[in-house]
Amino acid sequence: MGKSINPDDTRLKWKEAVSTETTTEGVMPWRIPFAQKDLFAWQLVDRAAMPAGVRLEFRSNTSYLEMFFDSIFFDSIPDRSPVDIFCDGELLATLPTANLNFLRVENLGSKNKAIQIWLPQWGELRIKKLVIEDNAILTEPEARKHPEWVTYGSSITQCRAADSPSQTWPALVARKNHLELTCMGYGGQCHLDPMIARTIRDLPADIISLCLGINIYSASSLNQRTFQPGILGFVQILREKHIDAPIIVMSPIYSPGREETFNEVGMTLQLMRSEIANSVDILKGLGDMHIHYVDGLDIFDNQYENLLPDNLHPNNEGYSIMASNISNFLAPYLCLE
C-alpha cells in the first residue's frame, strides 16, 4: 500500500516557488504571490501558475516514489511538460505528465538520499499526495548555502520547448553553477510589469538577470517613449532592497524577421538592444556599479538560426547553447561571498 505523504507536510520543501496555494485538493506552487494574484494581469497569472524552475525536495530511503496530481489547464491547453527525478544530484528519470494524474518511479535504492522533483516548466500542476514505502523514513532536505539567482524573462526563459524542466537554460545554468534558481520566465508576458518588479524585489536574491524585449516587441506594448523608462523604473524598484546585488540585463537573442522590421509602435530588435544598453549606461552613470549589460546576440546569434524552429524559440539544443554562453557571462559575478 505504501505510506501516503500530504503535500503540505513540513518535511517537504517547495524550493523557489514564490508562493503555494493549499486547499483540500492539494498544494499548487505559484510564481507570483497567490494571495495577490488579482493585482497581476490575468494573462500573466496563467503563466505564473506554471511551476517552471520549481523543485519539490526531501530526503528518504524509499526504493520507489509515487506522485498523484490534478490536471489543471488554462487556455484549454492540454499538454504539459514532464517531471525530472534527481537522486543525490543525479538525474534518475524523466517521466511524462501530459494527460496523466499519476506517476511512479522505481529503483531508487535503499540508502537515505536527497530526492529532488523538478516540476513541469509548462502546464499547471496541483500535487495531491506522495506515496513512499511503508517503512521508509522522510526528512527535510539538508540546508544548502548556494547563491540565490532570480531570472526574469519571456517564453525564451520559461523554455516550453526544452525536453524537460532540468533542460531549460535557467536550469542548466543553475545546476552548473550551484545556484538556487527562481525562474520568472512567463511566456508572452515579459512586459516590465511593476508588480513583477515588486515581487522580485521581495525575493531573496544574490544575483538577478533580466532578459528583456521580445514580448514587448511582439505585442507592441511599449514604444520609444515608454520602453526605456520602463526598464529604469523596473531596476530602481529592485534596488529598493537589492542594493548591491549584481543585475545582469540581457537584450533579445537573434530572431529572423524581427531584427530590422518595425512593429506597430516603431520598434525593432536592433533598436531595443540599443535602448537596453543605453538604460544600463544611464544607471551606471548615476552610480549603480552593480548593473551589467549583455548583448543577446553574444548569447545566441544568426549562426544558430537553424535551432529556431519557429524563428523565435530555440529548441532543446539551442537552449543548451544559451546556457553555456550565459554561464560564461555570469561567471564574473558569482563570487558573492
Domain boundary among 103, 121, 139: 139
Are 301 and 282 contained in the same domain? Answer: yes
Residues 270, 260: contact at Cβ < 8 Å?
Answer: yes
- Count of structural domains, the chain: 2
Q: Decide if pLDDT at 268 tops 60.
A: yes
Supply the pLDDT for residue 166. Answer: 98
In what order do the strands lie in the sheet containing 180-185? 180-185, 148-153, 207-211, 247-250, 291-294
Which string of b and e fits 287-308 if b means at least 16 CB within 10 Å?
A: ebebbbbbebbebbeeebeebb
Are 267 and 188 contained in the same domain? Answer: yes
Supply the pLDDT for residue 145. Answer: 85
Q: Residues 211, 215, 217, CA angle at the centre, nearest 5°?
A: 110
DSSP 257-308: TTSS---TTS--HHHHHHHHHHHHHHHHHTT-TTEEEE-HHHHS-GGGGGG-
Are 132 and 161 contained in the same domain? Answer: no
Q: Decide if pLDDT at 219 tops 80.
A: yes
DSSP 8-state class, residue 149: E
Are 114 and 253 contained in the same domain? Answer: no
DSSP 181-244: EEEEE-TT--S--HHHHHHHHTS--SEEEEE-SHHHHHHT-S-TTTHHHHHHHHHHHHHTT-SS
Are 110 and 252 contained in the same domain? Answer: no
Domain boundary among 101, 120, 139: 139
Q: Decide if pLDDT at 337 tops 60.
A: no
Q: What's the whole-model pTM score? A: 0.96
Are 47 and 156 contained in the same domain? Answer: no
Are 183 and 260 contained in the same domain? Answer: yes
Give the end-to-end CA distance of the chain in Å, rounded to a whole number.
Answer: 47
Domain boundary among 139, 158, 177: 139
- Report which residue type is found at 115: I
Mean pLDDT of the chain: 95
Are 124 and 153 contained in the same domain? Answer: no
Whichever domain contains 45, its CATH number is 2.60.120.260
**Cell representation of residue 9:** 507536510
Are 212 and 324 contained in the same domain? Answer: yes
pLDDT, tens only, 109-161: 999 999 999 999 999 999 999 999 999 999 999 988 899 999 999 999 999 99
Kindly calculate the radius of gyration of the chain based on its CA atoms and give it in whole angstroms.
20
Domain enclosing residue 181, as ranges = 148-333
pLDDT, tens only, 55-76: 999 999 999 999 999 866 544 4
Q: Which residues contact 41 (CB under 8 A, 6 or more apart)?
A: 189, 191, 193
Matching residue, cell 557571462: 329
Are 207 and 318 contained in the same domain? Answer: yes
Are 266 and 300 contained in the same domain? Answer: yes
